[in-house]
A and B are shown apart, each in its own frame.
Chain A
Amino acid sequence: MTLLGLLEREPSHGYDLKRDYDTYFGRGKPLPYGQVYATLGRLARDGKAIAGPAEHGEGPDRKRYAITEAGIADVEDWLRTPAAPEPHLQTVLFAKVVLALMLDRPASQYLDLQRAAHLGRMRELTELKQHGNLVDTLLADHGLYHLEADLRWMDHTAARLDSLKQAVRQ
C-alpha cells in the first residue's frame, strides 16, 4: 500500500519508487527490486495501476506506472481506516502520516481517527481490568502502556505536522 501511495504523487518507474521508499520508509532495510516489480505487476493486474509501454534503456524494466482511480480510492480508504490498535504500529502509523502529508491529505484527521480507535481499545482494556483478576490486569496494563506510547507519539506528531510536511514535500 505504501508503494501505491507513492505512485499517487506522479507516474513513476519502479526505480523511482524504490529509491523514495528506501529514503522515507526503508530505515536501513532497502526494498528488493524483485519485490517492487512484483508489487507493481500485482497492482496492474488488479486494476490499481496501469503500466505504460516499455521504454528503451538500461535496467530490467523501464515501464512507467500510473495509479488508477481504483488505486486512488484504495489509498484513501487505507489512510482513513485506523489500523487495529495493537502495540508496535510505528511503521504503519509513520507511513500513513508521511504519505498523507506528501499527498496533501488531511493527516491530522487521520491521526484523530487513529487516536479514537486507540482510546476505544484502551477503554475496553480498562473495563477488563476492573472485572478481571491480577493476571488479566497486568496483561491489560501491558497493552495500555503500549497504546499510550503510540498516543503520545501521535500527539507529538500532530503538533509538528507543519514542519514535517515541509520536510517530506521538499
Chain B
Amino acid sequence: MSLIIEARGIVRSFGQTPALRGATVEVAKGEILAVMGPSGSGKSTLLHCLAGILTPDEGEVWFDGKRLDALRESERSALRRDRFGFVFQFGQLVPELTAEENVALPLLLSGTRRAPALREARTWFARLGLDGLEGRRSGELSGGQAQRVALARGLVAGPDVLFADEPTGSLDSVTGEHVMNLLTASAREQGTTVILVTHEARVAAYADREVIVRDGKVSTLTGVAPAAGLTQ
C-alpha cells in the first residue's frame, strides 16, 4: 500500500479550545476514506490540517513525501491549487460567474488559457448530467445542481486528492445519493484519493474505509467477522 497522506500526532487548538489532541491517520493512494465523528469532534479541523489549510500546533502532516506543515504558506497554497480539489457542504460557487466558469476556475488559476479551460470544463457537464446549465449562475441552480457543479470544479484539474466536507449535508437523500454516486465513480475513474468528512453512515458507506474522530483523536475501527446468528 503506498501512502499519499499521513498525519502523525496532530495537535491543534483554537485559543484555549483544543480541537485535535494527537490525531494520527494514514491515507493510501486512490483510497476513499470516510472521516466520521460527532459534531465538534474535530473532523473538519483534521480535514483542514490534511489539506494544508490549517497548520497543526504539534505533529506532522506528510503529502506525497513532502512535509506539508513545514512548507511556506505560498507553497501550501500552490499545492492546494495544483494537487488538491475541494467540495464543501454548500457548493460555495462564485455567484458572479456562470456554472462553466466556476468549473473552469481551478484551471484558470493554474494558468490554463480561457478557451481550453472552458472546453475542459464543459466536458464535465455531460458527465454529471448537467447538460444545458453551463451558462447559469449559482442563483439559478437547484441545490443538487450547484453541488454537482462544485464537484466538477473539485475534480476538473485532475487532483491527487479530493477533500469533501459534508458534500451532501445540504441535500435531500435522493439527490445526496446521486452526488455520492458521481463523486465516487469520477474519483475512481481518475484515480483520485478522496477524504470525505461526514456524520452520515449512509454517505460513509460509499468509502472503502472509515475512521472516527472522537475527542480530537482518530480511532480506527477494527472490525471482526459478524457472528453467524443472533444469540441471547
Q: Once bound together, how far apart are the Cα atoms of A123 and B231, in whole Å?
A: 24
In-complex Cβ contact of A144 among B181, B205, B207, B224 (8 A): B205
- Chain A residues positioned under 8 Å from B202 (CB to CB): 122, 126, 144, 148
| 0/1 string, B188-227, CB within 8 A of A gives 1 | 0000000000001110111100101000000101111011
Verify if B65 is at the interface (C-beta below 8 Å from A).
no
The residue on B at minimum CB distance from A152 is B201
Q: When A and B form their complex, what is the total count of cross-chain residue pairs whose Cβ atoms lie within 8 Å? A: 77
- Chain B residues positioned under 8 Å from A118 (CB to CB): 201
- Chain A residues positioned under 8 Å from B230 (CB to CB): 83-84, 86, 89, 92
B32 to chain A, nearest CB (A): 11
Interface range on chain A (Cβ under 8 Å from partner): 35 or more
- Chain A residues positioned under 8 Å from B223 (CB to CB): 82, 113, 116-117, 119-120
- Chain B residues positioned under 8 Å from A83 (CB to CB): 226-227, 230
| 0/1 string, A22-53, CB within 8 A of B gives 1 | 00000000000000000000000000000000
Beta-carbon contact of B38 and A159 below 8 Å = yes
Q: Once bound together, how far apart are the Cα atoms of A1 and B232, in whole Å?
A: 5
- Chain A residues positioned under 8 Å from B132 (CB to CB): none
Interface range on chain B (Cβ under 8 Å from partner): 20 to 34
Q: Once bound together, how far apart are the Cα atoms of A82 and B210, in whole Å?
A: 17
List 23 contacting pairs A-B, 8 Å CB cutoff, sorted by A: A1-B231, A1-B232, A81-B224, A81-B227, A82-B223, A82-B227, A83-B227, A84-B229, A92-B230, A92-B231, A95-B232, A112-B221, A113-B221, A116-B223, A116-B224, A117-B223, A119-B210, A120-B223, A121-B226, A122-B204, A130-B181, A147-B201, A159-B38
Verify if A85 is at the interface (C-beta below 8 Å from B).
yes
Q: Once bound together, how far apart are the Cα atoms of A164 and B229, in whole Å?
A: 27
Beta-carbon contact of A122 and B205 below 8 Å = yes
Verify if A155 is at the interface (C-beta below 8 Å from B).
yes
A79 to chain B, nearest CB (A): 11
Beta-carbon contact of A119 and B229 below 8 Å = no
Majority-rule SS of A interface residues: helix
Verify if B115 is at the interface (C-beta below 8 Å from A).
no
B171 to chain A, nearest CB (A): 16
Beta-carbon contact of A148 and B226 below 8 Å = no
- Chain B residues positioned under 8 Å from A155 (CB to CB): 38
Most buried by B among A82, A95, A126, A144: A126
B225 to chain A, nearest CB (A): 8
Q: Once bound together, how far apart are the Cα atoms of A31 and B202, in whole Å?
A: 37
Most buried by B among A78, A85, A86, A155: A155
- Chain B residues positioned under 8 Å from A95 (CB to CB): 232
Q: Once bound together, how far apart are the Cα atoms of A89 and B229, in whole Å?
A: 11
From known contacts A119-B205, A122-B201, A144-B202, infer whether A85 and B226 are also in contact, taking CB-CB under 8 Å.
Answer: yes
Q: Once bound together, how far apart are the Cα atoms of A117 and B221, in whole Å?
A: 9
- Chain B residues positioned under 8 Å from A91 (CB to CB): 232
| 0/1 string, A116-140, CB within 8 A of B gives 1 | 1111111101100010000000000
The residue on A at minimum CB distance from B184 is A130
Q: Once bound together, how far apart are the Cα atoms of A117 and B230, in whole Å?
A: 14
